[in-house]
Amino acid sequence: MHPSLNTRFARAAAAPGHMPEKTEIVEISPDQLESVEVRAVFDIWERHRNGRTMPSREEVLPRPLGKLLRNISLMRFIPQTDDYELRFIGDAHVQAYGPNSPGQKISDTKAASPQFVAALKYSFDLARTRRAPVGYRGIMGRDLSLARFDWFETLYLPLGAGDEVQFILNASVYKPRGGKWPD
């Protein structure tokens, strides 16, 4: 973990209610991953990439990632409208953010949380335009009091054919706020 995040999260975890004022998120590379689950998704993506820019969706889903489905979501890129459509969402994401419906477009959710949706779209776009993994780790502060989690690690991975990105695979791990998920 990034040293300042490690110290701040340890303090926050030891004293619930003493979360930092501001959320702090840092970009990380795949070699900085700490989560076993996110690392495992990356390793499968890397193995199926086999020296190419990226693997296809069919190469990694569903069988190779079967045991990790709870930690992933899959978004299809829609180039005509520069939008993303939710194709699959695992239980870890549902616990962290609440239910979402497959087929829902990211633009349809913008009104509910414009700042969050803009950050999410930025992350998808970054993985798509770089044609490479994009990772983040962070702690949630009081400025995002509606967040259901204190800490997260996430990785966005492009999937497609040749150099054309067709999907963004997201793998994430979240630590629930207060130590357990709401009922």
Please state, rounded to an integer, the average pLDDT across all residues of the chain: 86
Q: Return the pLDDT at 167.
A: 98
Domain membership of residue 183 (yes or no) is no
Contact by Cβ (8 Å): 144, 11: no
**pLDDT band at 18, cuts 50/70/90?**
low
Domain membership of residue 124 (yes or no) is yes
Contact by Cβ (8 Å): 156, 107: no
pLDDT top residue among 132 and 109: 132
Q: Return the pLDDT at 1.
A: 43
Domain membership of residue 182 (yes or no) is no
Domain count for the chain:
1
pLDDT top residue among 142 and 3: 142
**pLDDT band at 165, cuts 50/70/90?**
very high
Interval 65-73 mean pLDDT:
95
Domain membership of residue 47 (yes or no) is yes
Domain membership of residue 152 (yes or no) is yes
121's torsion region: left (phi>0), alpha (psi -120 to 50) or beta? alpha
Q: Return the pLDDT at 21.
A: 77
Domain membership of residue 145 (yes or no) is yes
Which whole-number Å values give the CA distances from 23 to 8, 37, 111, 119, 128, in the listed order? 11, 23, 21, 13, 25
Domain of 70, in residue numbers: 3-16+24-177
* CATH number where 37 lies: 3.30.450.20
